Amino acid sequence: MTDGSRAMAYAAGAIVIWSLNATAGGAVLAELTVLQVLALEFGGAFILLAAVRSIRRHDGGQAPAGHGRRARVVTIGVVGITGTIALQYLAFATAPLVAANAIAYAWPLLAAAWTALAPGGDRSLSAIVFALAGFAGLILLLAARESPDGSAQVPLLGYVAAIGSAVAMASYTLTAGKSGAATSDLLLAGTGAGALGFIPAALAEGAPWSPVWAVGLSVGIGVAMLAGGYGLWTVAMADPAGARLAPAAYLTPLLSTGLLLATGERLSPFALLGCALIILCAAGVALPALRRPTHGRPRDGVTRHDGAVFEQFDEAWVDGADGITLRVRTGGAGPPVVLLHGHPRTHTTWHRVAPLLVATGHRVICPDLRGYGRSAKPRTTADYSPYSKRAMARDILALMRHLGHERFAVVGHDRGSYVAARLALDAPRAVTHLAVLDSVPIGEALARADARFAAAWWHWFFFAQPDVPERAILSDPDAWYGGDPDRMGAENHVDYQRAIRDPATVRAMLEDYRAGLGVDRAADDADRAADRRITCPTLVLWSTQDDMEELYGDVLAVWRPWTVDLRGGPIESGHHMAEDAPHELAEQLVSFLG
C-alpha cells in the first residue's frame, strides 16, 4: 500500500467511526448524565490504551522521555482530546443534536482555513466560496438557536460548547502529526486526563448507572471513538499525505447529519438551512482532497519509492547512555549493522538503503542520534560535552547492547560518520567494520582549514555561534535547508521537515557543531598525538558531487594515519548518497561487510 492510500484508509476509518458518534451519543445521553457518559468513555478508552502500552513496553517498546516533550504531549492530548470530547458531549446534551453535531464537526473548516492562510495554502476561488458557505452555515445555526420544532430559542451554552469543541479538534489536527509524539502518548494523555477528571465527578453526582446497555454503549463509544477514531486520525495526519487529507474529515458532518435525520432527529427549517450550507462546504472541501494526488512527479533519474518507509521494521524508543532515549528502527536478521545519519537528517534518510541490506541478510538498526529527530535532547554544558561525538558514541554502544548486540558494524554519514569513527576508536572490541561517508576526522578538517574550506564550510563556524544561528534558521527553515520530497522520498521528507521546524531540535543539532569545534577536536588531537588507530576494517566513500576531493585531494590519504585496514573510493552521487544513490551505496556496503 502506498503512503497516500494508507493515509486515506486511516482517515476514512476515523471518519466512519466519528460519523456514528452523534447518533450513539444521543442515545446514551437520553439515559445517563453527561458526566457519566464522559467518565465511561474516557475510562474505557484509557484502560484499553494503558493495557496496550503495557504489552508493548513488555515487548521492548518505550515512549520518548524528557520533561519538555512530555509537557507538550500532555497539552496536545488534553486540549485536543479531552477538550474536544467533553465540549462536544456538553453540546449534544444542551443543544439540538443535529445543530450541535454540525457545529462541533466544523473543525475541518477551521483547520482548512488556517492551512489556506499559511504560505502555499489553497486560496483558489472554489476553496474560498466553499469556506464562505461553511461559515455562513455556522452563523445561521448560531443566529437561529431554535428548538427542533422552531417554537423557542435554545440557550447559548450548547452552541458555545460546540464551537469550543471544533476549535480544540482543529488545533489537535494541526499539531498532533507535527508534534513528534507517539500516537499512544497523545491518546493516553487525553484519555487519562478525562478519566481522572470525569470519573470522580460522575460518582459525586450520585445518579444511577443504568440501564446496563447505555453503560456498555458508552464504554464502547469511548473505545471506538477515542482509541480507534483518534488513533487512526493521528496516524493519518503524521503521514506525508495527511495535511492534504485533513479536509476530507468534512465528510463527517455530511455522513453524521444524514444518519441523524434518517433516525428521526429534527431541526427547524432555518437551522436546517445552516446545516445544508455546512454540508455543501463539506462536499466541496472534502471530495477534491480525496481526489488530489498525494505524490509529486519524480525527477528524471531518481528512483521513486511510493511504499511506506521501513515497512518491515519495528519502531521503538530505547535508552542510550546517560538516560538519553533514542528513537530507533530495527529490521531484518543476521549480522547487525547500525546506520547513523548526518545533519540535518533523521534516521529515515536510510529508508532506501536499509531494506537492501536486510535483503542481503543483515539486521539493520537506524537510530536518530541524540539531539536529532525525535530522540532526546539533553541540556548542554559550557563545553557542549553532552553533544560530543564521544557522548553520542556511548549512546549507540548502549543501544546495541540493549538490543543484544555486543559486536556490530557501524556506518556513518556526514556528522554521523564522526560518531561512527569515535565509536570505533573508543570501543574497538565492539565494532567489527566501520564505513564513513563524506567526511574526514574533525581534527583533520580543522587542521587543514584554509580559505577554500572557510568559503565552502562556513556553516561550521556560523553554527558554533550562540543563539544567532537558531534565529536565522527558525525564521525560515525550508529556505535554509531546502529539501525535495520527490528526491528524498515523501515520508523521509516529512520526518526531516518535522525536525528542522522544531526549535528544540534545531538548537540541539547546532550544539553538535559547537561541540565539534571544542571537545571533539580536542579528542581527535589527543588520539592523533597518541597514535591511536581504528583497528577494524574501514571503508571510506565520498560523493563525486560533493567537495571532498576538491578540499583534500586524496581522501584516503587523510584517513590512512587513522586506520590499519583501509579501502574506499568515490560514488557518483550528491552529498546525501543514501537518498541519491541507494543501490550503489548498498552494493559497496554489502561487498565490504561480507
Calpha distance 143→156 (Å, rounded): 10
Query: Closest Cα to residue 229, out of 286, 187, 263?
Result: 187
Rounded CA Rg of the chain:
27
Q: Give the contacts of 86 (CB within 8 A, at least 6 positions apart).
A: 38, 194, 198
Task: Tell me the DSSP string of 360-385.
Answer: TT-EEEEEPPTTSTTS------TT-G
Calpha distance 390→479 (Å, rounded): 32
Q: What pLDDT does residue 246 have?
A: 57
Between the alpha carbon of residue 447 and those of residues 407, 440, 525, the distances in Å are 32, 11, 10
Between the alpha carbon of residue 281 and those of residues 253, 276, 429, the distances in Å are 10, 9, 64
Residue matched to cell numbers 512527479: 297
Calpha distance 221→44 (Å, rounded): 9
Query: Closest Cα to residue 38, out of 83, 85, 76, 102?
Result: 85
Q: What pLDDT does residue 154 have?
A: 63
Calpha distance 387→384 (Å, rounded): 6
CB 537 within 8 A of CB 559: no
Q: State whether residue 537 is helix, strand or coil.
A: coil
Q: Where are the domain boundaries for CATH 3.40.50.1820 in the chain?
A: 314-593
Residues of the chain with pLDDT under 50: 1-3, 56-68, 119-122, 240-243, 289-307
Q: How many CB atoms lie within 10 A of CB 82?
A: 24
What pTM, to 2 d.p., does this model score?
Answer: 0.54
Calpha distance 344→510 (Å, rounded): 10
Range 314-593: architecture per CATH: 3-Layer(aba) Sandwich (3.40)
Structure confidence by residue, pLDDT tens digits, 226-264: 778 877 776 666 554 444 555 566 677 667 777 777 777
Cβ burial of 566 (10 Å; 0-12, 13-18, 19+) is middle
Q: Give the three cell numbers for residue 526.
A: 589527543
Catalytic residues: 414, 575
CB 383 within 8 A of CB 532: no
User: Is the peptide bond between 298 and the residue preceding it cis, with omega within 30 degrees of 0?
Assistant: no
